[in-house]
Structures are given as C-alpha cells and as structure tokens.
Structure 1
Amino acid sequence: EVRFFMTWFSPAEFFGKRELLAVESVFKSHPQGCLMIASGSMDSPQGDTILKPLLDRGYKVFAATPDITSLLENTPAKTWFQEMKSCKRDPGRIPLSQNLSNLARLAILYKYGGVYLDTDYIVTRSFKGLKNSIGAQTVEEGDSRNWTRLN
C-alpha cells in the first residue's frame, strides 16, 4: 500500500477541519495506506487527541517530531544544512523556516519514498499506479513552460 507524508509546523490547535478533511481523503482512496505527519506540535497529547477519531476508525496515521539533522544524514542536502547552521551560506530571500519545511519533505521522500501531500490537498482517487511522479503547482506562461513551484 502507498505511504503518505505530510508536514505540519504550526501549533496543533491550528490543525482544523480542513486539514482533517485532507487526511480523511487519503484514507478514502487508500484505506490500507499509512500516513506520517512530520510535526513537533502534532507529536503531542493534543495531536493524539486530534488524530484519535482517525485511529479509532482503524486508519494508520501517526505524528512524529522530525530531527532535521538525522533526517538529512546521508543525503545531498546535509552539506547545505551544515553550512546554513554555521553561517557559511547566505540563506537568500526565502525564509529559513520555509527552506527547512521544503528540505524536510524532500529528505523524507529521498530516504523513504512514498507520496508527500500538503495538508490542504484532497485525494480523489488512488495513487497506486503513479511511479516517480512530481506535481507542478505553478507553470510559467509562454514558451518556456518552466515549473516555478513544485509539490
């Protein structure tokens, strides 16, 4: 069955109905699937309470606090992260928190495979047939058709 991953870096109390609907949609199309939410705030008693109705229905869902340093071990991103931590690299225009969120999701996929979904993504059909796919959220107009945002 398909392994799914989400990240949640906001406080657990903001994990609301929209996010629960997204999680439920995973299991409607993949009742035997497994969903791991990489989140320090959801890996808590409050997060357990939020996820309990899904667990009570037999769904395989859990939250785990990501350890970015361990997650990046043996990945191409390890050097970048070490340089960022030691102030040897300019963080650029993108906020570090956004870079870390993107890095966490890419490292999870790199190490474990599966499907990454944003917490507002509604699954409407099975992903079982997809192999090595990537979704483009925004594509430039014109001849280049370059992807500018990837999911």
Structure 2
Amino acid sequence: MILDPLQLVNPNLNCSRTIRLDFFRETDLPEYPLFFIETADHAILDPRQSCSVESALRNSGRNPIILMSSPILKPADSNATCQLLRYGVKFFKYNFVDFVKGTPLENLVYEELERNKDVITHASDMMRQVSVYKYGGMYLDLDFVILRDLTGIRNSVTMTNMAREYESVKNNSEFCDPKGPSEKGHIQNAFVALDKGHQLPWKIMENLVKTYNGDKNRAATGPLLLTHSIEELYHISSKELRGFKNENLTILPTFKFFTTGANRVGTIFNTRKERSSVEWDEFFSCSYAVHFYSYNTKKLKVSRNPKTDTYSYLAPKHCPISYLSQKQF
C-alpha cells in the first residue's frame, strides 16, 4: 500500500470516539506482512512511532500490521494515529499467552514476565520472534524511518556496530562499503525478515526459555541472544558474521538499517554541525531505513532544522503527516 492523499480508505472515520480493537487472527494478514508491535499498553502511537508506520506505507511496498497490547485506541489523543486509521492501517489487540501458543515460549511462566522491570522490552523481543516464526514476514521497531522498497528482502537480519558514526563513515568513504572498518559488531534485532516456520526464531525461543528467569536485563532477550543463536545454529564464529549468507539466511551490512550505532546516534540527531541535503543523501544512499534507537533518543527534542537534525530532514519527506501532526515531534 502506498500512501496517497487521494487514496483515503476511511475518510469519514470519527476520531473523537474510542475504538475497541479486534483480537489479531491469522486471517487478518496480507502476504508477507510487516509487523510493528506496541507493548507498552498505550492507546495511541506517538508521532515518531506513527512516522515509522507512515513511512512504511509510503515506501516499503508492504502492508503494515500493528499489534497493540492496549485493547483500545484513542485517536482523539493523536492526530497521527487518526490519520493512519483513515489511510487504512490495521491495528489489532494481541493476547500474549494465546500468541505464543505452539512455540517454546508457551512454557514461559507469564507471571515471571509481568514481574520483570523490563517487561515491555522483553515482551517486544519475544513477540517479534513469534510473529515471524508463526506467520512469516518482516518485523521493524517503531523507531525507524523507512526510506525504500523492502519487498526484495527475505530471510535476512542485519549487523550493527555500537560505535558507527557519521564522521568516521564519511572520512573512510564507507557509506556503502560492506567491508569497511565499521562493519563489525553483532546482530541487531530491531529488524528481521524471515519466512514462516524459519528455524532461526525457533532456536532463539529455545535458547530464551533455557536462560530466562524474569530478573535479567535486555541481554536475556535482545540482540546478543539473536547473535549467539545464529552462531550456534550455523556453526560460525563472531568473526564470520559479517557477510554471512547461505540458502536460508543473509546477514546484511550495517548501513542497510543501522546507519549509526546506538552509542553514536548523537552524530545524526540534533548535531551542532550543519550538513547539506547532498551530505545527508550520501550518508543514507544505500540504506533501506534509518534507526533512531528510541531508548536513547526519546527524550531528545527534534530541532526542526533539517541541516542539523536527521529527523527534521527525513520526516518531511517520508512521514509528513506524522511530522506535522503536533508541535513537538
């Protein structure tokens, strides 16, 4: 689905009323869906989350499916959420216990998850593995801006490097170099695209159940678990991750989805140095999407200056409705 002002699906939707969400069913899915999952029990998407979905509608060639932990939507509280509904975006309620049935996670005691201070993050980490295993398709975190068509990507994950930053990439001219010096690190789980029944998410879920006790931090369920599971499943070392490809998995280079590392996102978010549109476009020239690591940036203000702030440069192009939906993006 491509977002177009002339293609409103529900133009007369009354956004002043609260909407009770239907429970998710497999029959609701398009072919090779693009999953976004909200696990914080919020009744809206905030503007940056809406930007992820809107940019996916505009650019990805996939149909987004939004799975919500909240049983209701309150579009009156978010113009961006209201507009997504008018453009036909599908929101569904999920039940965690029902969703994980038929996977290794059904043996997980849900009370342990509820007691965990990291319950929102851990539930999200678990849900993404279940969704791509049981239904196939693609998962993205709600803090991306999608720049390009994603329909050619299947059975893929992506490298990340915590220290990758704008200046070093530019100085080394490695914008699109899969063998550049910053192409090292681990696998990031903010993006994954796998066919239904793929063995990788099953392996991840098996490993998670073996070690999860409800008291651990993100390492119990996140990127490092994914990385170790790949190494174990495909009998490779950490040094062999970069450029790995076989008949059912491709590890994409960092710049495809993670142009900067989590520890260096400040080199593109509200920077002090002005950059031209040519410089921004060069930096993202080989990227399918840009990740903004909301756990590091959610409290940072967007400057609305496209010369110093990546969001201010990308959002008017790729998610203008969300960007203009309220004063503070």
Taking structure 2 as the reference length, the TM-score comes to 0.36
Match for 1:77 among 105, 116, 119? 105
CA contact (8 A) 1:138 1:150 kept: no
Q: Answer yes or no: is 1:150 the counterpart of 2:173.
A: no
Aligned-partner SS, 2:34? strand
- Deviation at residue 5 of structure 1 after TM alignment: 0.8
Partner of 2:83: 53
- Residues 91-102 of structure 1 aligned to structure 2 (within 5 Å): 95-102=118-125
Aligned-partner SS, 1:70? helix
Aligned-partner SS, 1:98? helix
- Deviation at residue 140 of structure 1 after TM alignment: 8.6
For residues 58 and 143 of structure 2, the distance between their equivalents in structure 1, rounded to whole angstroms, comes to 15
- Deviation at residue 110 of structure 1 after TM alignment: 1.0
- Deviation at residue 27 of structure 1 after TM alignment: 0.9
Taking structure 1 as the reference length, the TM-score comes to 0.72
CA deviation string 1:59-79 (max 9, x = no partner): 4x2222221111111112222
- Deviation at residue 34 of structure 1 after TM alignment: 2.0
- Deviation at residue 25 of structure 1 after TM alignment: 0.5
Match for 1:36 among 65, 68, 74? 65
CA contact (8 A) 2:39 2:123 kept: no
Q: Answer yes or no: is 1:12 the counterpart of 2:40.
A: no
- Deviation at residue 113 of structure 1 after TM alignment: 1.2
For residues 55 and 23 of structure 1, the distance between their equivalents in structure 2, rounded to whole angstroms, comes to 11
How many residue pairs end up in the alignment?
Answer: 138
Which gives a bigger RCO, structure 1 or 2 (Cα 8 Å, sep 6+)? 1
Q: Answer yes or no: is 1:119 the counterpart of 2:158.
A: no
- Deviation at residue 137 of structure 1 after TM alignment: 3.8
Partner of 2:8: none
- For structure 1, the 5+ residue unaligned runs are none
For residues 47 and 9 of structure 1, the distance between their equivalents in structure 2, rounded to whole angstroms, comes to 18
CA deviation string 1:43-100 (max 9, x = no partner): 424058753322433x4x2222221111111112222x13x64x6x9x99x8333222
CA deviation string 1:103-145 (max 9, x = no partner): 0111111111111111111111111111101123446999xx4
CA contact (8 A) 2:65 2:91 kept: yes
Identity %: 21
Aligned-partner SS, 2:149? coil
The AA in structure 2 aligned to 1:115 is M
- For structure 2, the 5+ residue unaligned runs are 1-30, 165-180, 191-329
